[in-house]
A and B are shown apart, each in its own frame.
Chain A
Amino acid sequence: MATFQFNLVSPEKLLLSGPVDQVDVPGSEGDFGVLAGHAPFVATLRPGILTVHREGGSMRIVVSGGFAEVSDAGLTVLADIAVPVEDVSRESFAGFVQEAEEAAAKAPEGVQRDKLSLRAAQLKELQATLAT
């Protein structure tokens, strides 16, 4: 299977870099898979699970939002926070969800609030997925 270059970076550090077979990315308007030779593409991410398929198995990583860019050079994901699924602690994630909910509740009526409550809902969904 043809491979392509994949980089996963967060503001603090470069988390993953190397050739992969396929990456499934949680886009803000729906999940999408990236294979080698994908057309140039930019998308925003929603909180969700990013799956990396590469030689020797696959890897699931929780991302909390950010951007994905596909170009000739490969796929680059700019994540706000990215943690492998195994390393996510239930308690800290619950705190995270609660924070998002409180922020949504506090925000003034309008676009800002809609955005925040959408984020809280997405985080909750992710939490439910993680629990199973």
Chain B
Amino acid sequence: MASLKDMRVRIAATKATQKITKAMQMVAASKLRRAQAAAEAARPYAEHMDTVLRSIAASVAGLDSAPALLRGTGSDRVHLLLVCTAERGLCGPFNSAIVRLVRDYTNKLMAEGKEVKIFCVGKKGYEQLRRQYERNIIEHIELRSVRTIGFTNAEAIAHKITDLYEKGAFDVCTLFFSRFKSVIAQIPTGQQIIPPVFEANGNGGAAASYEYEPDEEEILAELLPRNLAVQIFRALLENNASFYGAQMSAMDNATRNAGEMIRKQTLTYNRTRQAMITKELIEIISGAEAL
């Protein structure tokens, strides 16, 4: 049995751990607030972009001259999965949930005989996917050194993707990230970004009477890569907010577990201590009686 001293050390260690998890929780909470504000601030741009793109796309739909980014390559043999995860762990099932979704999707595509390529953003997703799909991963980017995610980061990624697309490296691109629903709920989501999918809405036909300057094609040629960057930017921001949300609840759990552990350890410690005192007393008394 562990000596009393060992137990005291043990309790002190658990208390130290609890202090760390508590601090991490508080840091995550304050960062979450900022990340959430950033994600919300980016929303109007993405929404407006979507409306503009949707109305232009409606007017060029079906034309042969429509850019490849909008039209697609006409096949869906090679899939590129753009997987956005966090750079750090200690956030509960956050990274694993995204990876699980990607894994299911990959297996499904492979079963259909399609080729799958994976582009990882974030270290954790890369580490987890590497075990199983080493051959499929064509690129990975780490954003560890980036303090606050700016639009330029997303643009750089979008640029790489369009380059790959123009070289004919893939036909369909799907973006994976975790959508931020609330502090306790983050939903891993897959969203097809090339060719873009527009959800059907009722007033799509009415807005088709725009005038363009310069012409539609030139505008589209600029708009589409930018839309890609905006989608990625939004995904990164949502991911960031989700990450802090997940980390916060994970650390909250850890703090509570540590508290529970301290309670149990203290109980055993006190029991052992009392047992020893009792034993000593018995020894003294029985010694005195023997005289």
Q: Which A residues fall within an 8 A CB radius of B?
A: 7, 9-14, 27-29, 39-44, 67, 69, 71, 76, 78, 80
Contact = CB atoms under 8 A, between A and B. Distances in A.
Given A12-B151, A29-B213, A67-B52, A42 B219 contact: yes
A41 B56 CA distance: 11
Contact of A78 (B38, B52, B150, B218): B52
Contacts of A12: 38, 41-42, 45, 150-151
Interface in B207-225: 207, 209-214, 218-219, 222-223
Judged by DSSP, the binding face of A is: strand
Q: List the 8 closest pairs (A to B, CB-CB), nearest first.
A: A13-B41, A11-B151, A43-B213, A14-B44, A9-B45, A40-B210, A9-B44, A69-B52
Nearest to A40: B210
A28 B38 CA distance: 30
B213 A67 contact: no
Given A67-B223, A69-B52, A39 B211 contact: yes
B233 A11 contact: yes
B68 interface: no
A46 B197 CA distance: 29
A82 B172 CA distance: 33
Contacts of A9: 44-45, 48
Contact of B230 (A11, A40, A41, A43): A11
Give the one of B41, B44, B209, B212 with max A CB within 10 A.
Answer: B44
Interface in B11-56: 38, 41-42, 44-45, 48-49, 51-52, 55-56
B159 to A, nearest CB: 12
16 contacts: A11-B42, A11-B229, A12-B38, A13-B45, A14-B44, A39-B211, A41-B210, A41-B212, A42-B210, A43-B212, A43-B213, A44-B219, A67-B219, A69-B48, A71-B55, A80-B151
Contacts of B42: 11-13
A13 B151 CA distance: 11
A69 B53 CA distance: 10
Contacts of A29: 213-214
Nearest to B148: A12
Contacts of A71: 55, 207, 210
Nearest to B46: A11
A40 B150 CA distance: 32
A123 B207 CA distance: 33
A95 to B, nearest CB: 14
A67 B233 CA distance: 18
A78 B49 contact: yes
